[in-house]
């Protein structure tokens, strides 16, 4: 597997972020290459073909610590493996991280809210397809959730 030069974003906080870039064609034949930055908003794909969804979302749990980040990680990983672009905002005890911008919301095909508590800022998703699911659904079966969403959007 070949390595790519890491892409650094102007708003990236080096002390808290992990940057990882790599070619993924051996892992998924539908992807020629993919650059993704763990813990950051930007994820880029160069696909051979097929449809991709631009997914945004919010994760939040009652404690706002572990499950919030586990759900985000699982959702991002599943979306990447399926060839989609994704940005997930977390809302927790330390505040909001990776906040969704107006441009993120405008470009989104679908909004997934995985939360066991009330999420702030839902009004920004007006006019978008919003799916609200319990946190455990995203943690236990993120691919199944995304496959179901794909089927609904196609049908």
Q: Cite the active site residues.
A: 61
Helix (H) or strand (E) run with residue 36 in it: strand 31-36
By the 8 A CB rule, do 110 and 53 touch?
Answer: yes
For the CA atoms of 102, 104, 108, 114, the dihedral, rounded to the nearest 10 degrees, stands at -100
Contacts by 103-106, CB closer than 8 A, 24 or more apart: 104/41, 104/56, 105/56
């Amino acid at each position: 597997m070949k390595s790519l030069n890491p892409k650094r974003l102007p708003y990236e906080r080096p002390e808290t972020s992990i940057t990882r870039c790599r070619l993924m064609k051996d892992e998924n034949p539908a992807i020629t290459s993919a650059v993704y930055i763990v813990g950051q908003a930007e994820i880029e794909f160069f696909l051979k073909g097929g449809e991709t969804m631009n997914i945004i979302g919010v994760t939040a749990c009652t404690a706002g610590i572990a499950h919030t980040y586990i759900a985000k990680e699982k959702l991002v990983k599943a979306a990447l493996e399926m060839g989609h672009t994704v940005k997930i905002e977390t809302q927790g005890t330390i505040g909001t991280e990776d906040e969704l911008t107006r441009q993120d919301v405008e470009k989104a095909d679908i909004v997934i809210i995985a939360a066991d508590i009330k999420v702030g800022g839902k009004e920004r998703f007006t006019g978008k397809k919003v799916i609200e699911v319990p946190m455990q659904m995203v943690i236990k079966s993120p691919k199944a959730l995304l496959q179901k969403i794909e089927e609904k959007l196609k049908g």
